[in-house]
Amino acid sequence: MKAESGHIVFKGKFKWKDLKGSFEEVLKAFLQETDQVPDEEDMFQMFLRLNMMDLEKNRKPEGFNRRGRLRLVFPNSPDKKEMYIRSETKTAEVVRVTEKLSRMLKKEGIAHTVEWDRLEHLQQQT
């Protein structure tokens, strides 16, 4: 299977601060799986700290929305809380990374569903 985007949609009474305990591991896994680990540890710590500051205040984190093969995005969406992995083209890598992060979140007890290629569908509606 290939996808351009893999969406992890949080369920129930999810609050952004629920990610505090697992976010570092999720961010590291995303960066490692996509070969985007910063060369300097200080850069990783900066990305982590900025995101953790948001989570501690129960705000949507930034994610890793830098130029690269894949991005980890937390969209502004009033109707649901989610994160997604995005590529410029359909690829099996999006599926693999999304499924890995989903397993990590399930292990931490964070309820969610996984959806595919919702960005494409949203673009067609506008």
> What local confidence, expressed as pLDDT, does residue 65 receive?
83
> Containing domain of residue 87, as a range?
3-125
Query: Rounded to whole angstroms, what are the CA distances from 18 to 31, 84, 101?
Result: 21, 17, 15
Show pLDDT as tens, one digit a residue, over the chain (126 residues). 999 999 999 999 999 999 999 999 999 999 999 999 999 999 999 999 999 999 999 999 999 887 788 999 999 887 889 999 999 999 999 999 999 999 999 999 999 999 999 985 544 443
Contact 51, 62 (CB under 8 A): yes
Total number of domains constituting the chain: 1
19: helix, coil or strand?
A: helix
pTM value is 0.90
Distance CA 42, CA 87 (A): 26
CATH number of 62's domain: 3.90.1170
